[in-house]
Chains A and B, each alone.
Chain A
Amino acid sequence: MSDLTQQDSWHRRVLEHKAALMAVLSTVLVSIGGLVEIVPMFTVEQPAIAAGHGDMAPYTPLEVAGRDIYVKEGCYNCHSQMVRPFRAETKRYGTWSRAYEYQYDRPFQLGSRRIGPDLHRLGGKYPDAWHWEHMIDPRSTSPGSIMPPYTWLAEKTVDPEDVQASLTALQTLGHPYSDADIDGTAQALSSQAGQIIQNLSTAGITAAPESELVALIAYLQRLGDDRPEEEL
Chain B
Amino acid sequence: MPSLASPPPSYDDAIIKKFCIATVVWGAVGMLVGVILALQLAWWPANLGLEWTTFGRLRPLHTNAVIFAFTANGLFAGIYWSLQRLLKTRMWSDTLSKVHFWGWQLIIVCAAISLPSGWTQGKEYAELIWPLDILIAVIWVLFAVNFFATIAIRRVKHLYVAIWFYMSMVITIAVLHVVNSLAVPATLTRSYPLYSGLTDALVQWWYGHNAVGFLLTTPMLGLMYYFLPKAAERPVYSYRLSIVHFWSLVFLYIWAGPHHLLYSALPDWAQTLGMVFSLMLIAPSWGGMLNGLLTLRGAWDRLRTDPILKFFVVGITFYGMSTFEGPMMSIRAVNALSHYTDWTIGHVHSGALGWVGMTLFAMLYWLVPRVWQRRLHSVPQATAHFWLATVGIVLYVVAMWVAGITQGLMWRAVDEAGQLQYPNFLDTVLTLIPFYWIRLLGGLMYLGGVILMGWNLFKTATAPAEAPATAQEVSA
Contact = CB atoms under 8 A, between A and B. Distances in A.
Interface of A: 1, 3-4, 6, 9, 11-12, 16-17, 19, 22-23, 26-27, 29-34, 36-38, 40-42, 45-46, 49, 68, 71-78, 80, 82, 84-89, 91-92, 96-99, 101-117, 142-152, 162, 165-166, 168-170, 172-173
23 contacts: A16-B159, A30-B171, A31-B254, A33-B253, A34-B175, A37-B257, A41-B198, A41-B270, A77-B56, A78-B56, A86-B336, A91-B414, A101-B265, A106-B197, A107-B200, A108-B198, A108-B200, A115-B55, A116-B429, A145-B44, A168-B186, A173-B184, A173-B194
Question: Interface residue tally of chain B, by bracket?
Answer: 35 or more
A73 B119 CA distance: 9
Contacts of B260: 112
Given A3-B238, A97-B264, A144-B430, A102 B255 contact: no
Contact of A117 (B44, B151, B240, B425): B425
B157 A17 contact: yes
A42 B255 CA distance: 17
A19 B414 contact: no
Contacts of B120: 71-72, 74
Interface stretch (B46-54, B304-312, B363-371): B46-54
Interface in B340-362: 340-342, 344-345
Contact of B250 (A26, A42, A68): A26
Interface of B: 40-41, 44, 47, 49, 51, 54-57, 59-60, 118-124, 148, 151-152, 154, 157-159, 164, 167-168, 171-172, 175, 179, 184-187, 190-204, 206, 210, 214, 235-240, 243, 247, 250-255, 257-258, 260-261, 263-267, 270, 273-274, 277, 336, 339-342, 344-345, 411-414, 418-420, 423, 425-426, 429-430, 433
A116 B171 contact: no
Given A107-B121, A117-B425, A45 B184 contact: no
Given A68-B190, A74-B57, A96-B265, 6 more contacts: A19-B154, A19-B159, A37-B273, A108-B201, A146-B433, A148-B55
B224 to A, nearest CB: 17
Nearest to A148: B47
B190 A4 contact: no
- What secondary structure prevails in chain B residues at the interface with A? helix
B207 to A, nearest CB: 9
B201 A33 contact: no
Contacts of B214: 30
Contact of A148 (B49, B184, B210, B430): B49
Given A37-B258, A73-B56, A113-B345, A30 B251 contact: yes
Query: 8 nearest interchain CB pairs?
Result: A74-B56, A102-B197, A148-B47, A33-B254, A33-B255, A71-B122, A169-B186, A99-B265
B192 A169 contact: yes
Contacts of B157: 17
A37 B265 contact: no
Contacts of B154: 19
B73 to A, nearest CB: 24
A55 B97 CA distance: 53
